[in-house]
A and B are shown apart, each in its own frame.
Chain A
Amino acid sequence: MGEEIRLTVNGEKRVAHAAQNTPLIYVLRNELGLKGTRLGCGANQCGACHVLIDGQSVASCDTPLWAAADKNVVTIEGLGTPAHAHRLQRAFIAEQAGQCGYCLSGIIISAEALLARTPDPTEDEVRAALDRHLCRCGTHNRAVRAVLRAAKDAA
């Protein structure tokens, strides 16, 4: 504990005070108060905790803090807010793409990474991009429709 690691989170420069090996998710949720990134397995197997690090969608439960040092981290809160919604958030609401919603942050983050590299994806490309994400409620098809809808909403 107590080491200082600098990183940029949702556009703001932050200093984390934690051991270098602390999984990033604990720093985001408990030190920086960003509860939108959710812990599902702690082993990079379910996708619930994904965040963007320099544009790559990665599991924050399996990323040590040092690996995010001086990097650009974007969490679900960094995509948009109720007042300034991101197109993916608008699309997920429009498609009512969720039931319990626990998996959604990770899914939306991976969808954002996909749209950044493939602005107009096919349905198969969306499914492939989201394949690391588990959803137990069975809202997969709604999520896929939401991503395709967001792709058409270039704003």
Chain B
Amino acid sequence: MSDKFNDILNEIKSTRSVLTVFLPSTQTEVELSPLTLAQQKLIIESTSDTTLGVLFFNNIFYKILKDNLNGNIKDYNTIDRVNLTLALRQHLKDSIDVESDETVSKLLTRNKDIPYNIEPVTVTTGDFTFTVQAPTLDVDNFVNTHLLNKYKNTSFDDNKLKNLISDLYACEILKFIKSIKINDKEVNLHNELTQSIKVLESIDSIHFKQVTDYINTVRDEEAKYTKYTAEDKSIDITPDLFIL
């Protein structure tokens, strides 16, 4: 019986298809394995109404992409994640909702033609020079994990919620600032997060104005990839997308 089980298992593994996904940041295509049933289960189980639900979903998704991507996940950023998510969803089901003719494949085709203008920038303000760039999936996951661990098992009263909002803000900035240079001394912020957050919190927020503008540009860019092609609607990149 064990032979039969292993034979079937191996056959299923060997017949898995491979998806090809266009990634905006590199303007190249990458191979991606479709979601297995076990991975779908993980995504569905990450559905939650909690404050940290989106971070939790992104973490689960990072682990899945790490397993399924044929390439180094460190080479791709959060804008690429939209197309990767859409491709995985499209493999399961192309239509988006019953009330619309919109399909995921239409979005993916359209997304190939969206001009990609997000490049790293250097922002100099006061005594500080920030190297700012769209976060790689690796950095995004690293910061999200830090936050999830910090607020694990926390029940959110008003005070804790204020702390969380403040941490979310600091972590969002931290994701985008790769390094800070102060008086010729350069510090990489993505090595040790607790210390990095302390550094950021000690800086007058007026110096982050250009950084937050950059963050808004990147988030707006991500949103372009989720827009319907023919309607003024967008796909929400949440676990619900995979509950068919």
* A and B interact: no
CB within 8 Å of B: which residues of A? none
Footprint of A on B, CB under 8 Å? none
